[in-house]
Amino acid sequence: MEFAGKVVITTGTTGIGKACALEFARNGASVAALGIDEEANAALRDLAATEGLRLNVIRTDVSKPGEVEAAVSEVVASFGGVDIVVNSAAIHPYGDATNTDFDVFMRCMAVNVGSIHLTAQYAVPEMRKRHGGAIVNISSVQGSACQKNVSAYVASKGAIHALTRAMALDFAADNIRVVSISPGSVRTPILELAARTFEGDDADVEAIFRRFGEAHPLGRIGEPEEVAALAAFLASSRAGFITGSDHRIDGGLLAGIGVR
């Protein structure tokens, strides 16, 4: 039970966010999962109850300062503090700079990047009281290399890399480490949205996932639990000298130069 006695906040209650909440809770942490999707929140809450996990789910729009502040206050009241934050909440609009509505662009930045700022704003003071901690930000390989027609999403993921570096420097003296993770294609609702966006609502999603997997040298897409395992390692004392860095988990996707 590596995280016994630790208090963890995760954002996003589907895909990688859900997997991270379960990974930490199953390893002894007290976890608060913040998410806006009520159906996903309920499913995670039920699963946690079935397994007897110390995992609270708090309905939160993580782009809203008041809601994040209230959620962090609830976590501190329930669990006594904050040690670790894993920021996974994200949305993925499609479009280029000419056809993406500005409100959509700003909503993407607010959720994907602004939420990281907000969880730090309210959680870091609590982490300081406990003399340190770790923040893990889920970015994407698309923060380093990108596809066409995803300008808002790509901008947000590149910003996460930069914000991670800034936070790592700003909070190093507090013994708070900050890192990011950049997954390749992972079995998540966002990837399913991509499949249906490309092929239509009646698409054979698993067949498309297999095709997506062929772009990765390891020949498959990743699983949320694999990303969660990396997040747990990076947040643990075993990674105590790691901060300010990005960690790809992409099946070799960005290792090559146009060859498979």
The tokens for 39 are 């159906």
With respect to residue 255, please indicate whether it lies within any of the assigned structural domains: no
Instruction: Take residue 105 and report the two structure tokens written for it.
Output: 């662009």
Which parts of the chain have pLDDT scores under 50?
Answer: none
Any domain includes 193 = no
- Asked whether residue 203 is assigned to any structural domain, the reply reads no
List the one residue out of 49, 23, 51, 21 whose CA is nearest residue 33. Answer: 21
* 121 within some domain: yes
- Distance separating alpha carbons of residues 123 and 125, to the nearest angstrom: 6
- At 256 the pLDDT is 87
Residue 95 lies in a domain: yes
Residue 202 lies in a domain: no
Identify whether 122 is a catalytic site residue. Answer: no
Tell me, what CATH number does 45's domain have? 3.40.50.720
Per-residue model confidence (pLDDT) at position 232: 98
Q: H-helix or E-strand containing 3?
A: none
> Closest Cα to residue 246, out of 170, 83, 136, 147?
136
Decide if 185 contacts 191 (C-beta within 8 A).
Answer: yes
Note down the domain range covering 64: 7-185+223-249
Active-site option among 153, 171, 209, 212: 153
Nearest to 4 by CA among 46, 77, 53: 53
pLDDT tens, residue by residue, 37-47: 999 999 999 99
Domain count, the chain: 1
- The answer as to whether 103 is a domain residue is yes
